[in-house]
Structures are given as structure tokens and as C-alpha cells.
Amino acid sequence: FISFSSYSENNIYLRHVDGRVTLAKNNQLTLFKQDATFKLIMNEEKNMVAFESINIPEYYIAVDPDSKTALILEKPQKKVLTINDLNEKFLFKFNF
């Protein structure tokens, strides 16, 4: 499992709320911790990853198709058996 915390701002994490993925201060509540934790799904050969919500199974972080610059939480239209079943809006690359 994985969470994303800000390097520059202490105690700030990515979390999902009402279908949006935003930065928020950790209030130490169980719901916050669940909203800010994702299952990391990897395909190392293709250098791609996806992030499934742990408290809303089958929902993944995706690029908002309207803004193309925001993140949302969305359920894919078809059943996901492997990362290869996800379309591009659910996939991210690791760049080091």
C-alpha cells in the first residue's frame, strides 16, 4: 500500500473526497487514513503504475478527462483483472 505526502509541507497528503483527489492535512481520523491510502499496482516491464483506493475497492486514481490537470477517483467501465485492463487515464509512469 502507498500514501503520498508532501515533501515541503508537513502532514499534507493526497486523499480522495467526493470523487476528487486533493491535498489535505492529516487529521488522524481513520477515514482520512483510508482515503489517503492506495493499493499500488505495477507493471515494471512497461514502467506503469495504477493506484486503487483501499476503502472504495475497484476505484482508481485517474486523470480528470475534462480538465486534464486534476485527479479524480473513478471506477473503470470494465472489470480490472490486471493493470493491462486499465485504460490510459488510470495509468502513471515512474520518472526518476
Measured CA to CA, the distance from residue 78 to residue 62 in angstroms comes to: 15
Residue range 49-70, pLDDT digits in tens: 999 999 999 999 999 999 999 9
Q: What integer is the mean pLDDT of 19-39? A: 97
Q: Is residue 88 in some structural domain?
A: yes
Q: pTM for the full model?
A: 0.92
Q: Is residue 5 in some structural domain?
A: no
Query: How many distinct structural domains can be found in the chain?
Result: 1
Distances (CA, A) of 88 to 8, 22, 23, 25, 39: 29, 20, 23, 29, 18
- The CATH number given to whatever domain includes residue 73 is 2.80.10.50
Provide CB contacts within 8 A for 67, sequence distance 6+. Answer: none
Q: Is residue 76 in some structural domain?
A: yes
Domain range holding 87? 12-93
